[in-house]
Amino acid sequence: MMLDSVSLLYSSYVAFVFACIFFGALAYRQILDNLDVKRLKMGEDRDSFIDAGAGITVAVLWVFVIVVAVFAFYILKPSIVTYALPMILAAQTMQFSLRMLFQRTQVKTKGLVIRSVMLDQNAAAPFQEIIAVRFVKHRWWITVKVSLPFEEYSFRIFSFSADDLELMIAASCSAPILWSLPSSDEHQKHPPTSVS
Residues 126 and 79 in one domain: no
Residue 193 lies in a domain: no
pLDDT digits (tens, 9 = 90+) for 64-73: 999 999 998 8
How many domains, in total, are found in the chain? Answer: 2
* CA-closest candidate to residue 125, choices 96, 168, 161, 164: 168
Residues 85 and 136 in one domain: no
Domain boundary among 83, 102, 121: 102
The pLDDT score that the predictor gives to residue 146 is: 93
Residues 133 and 176 in one domain: yes
The pLDDT score that the predictor gives to residue 90 is: 95
The pLDDT score that the predictor gives to residue 65 is: 95
The pLDDT score that the predictor gives to residue 1 is: 60
The pLDDT score that the predictor gives to residue 91 is: 94
Residues 16 and 95 in one domain: yes
* CA-closest candidate to residue 155, choices 110, 114, 108: 114
Domain boundary among 68, 102, 136: 102
Strand order, beta sheet including 177-180: 152-157, 142-147, 132-137, 177-180
State which residues form the domain around 17: 5-102
Domain boundary among 102, 119, 145: 102
Residues 59 and 132 in one domain: no
The stretches in the chain having pLDDT less than 70 are 1, 184-196
The pLDDT score that the predictor gives to residue 16 is: 92
Q: Residue 94: what residue type?
A: M
The pLDDT score that the predictor gives to residue 190 is: 42
The pLDDT score that the predictor gives to residue 187 is: 42
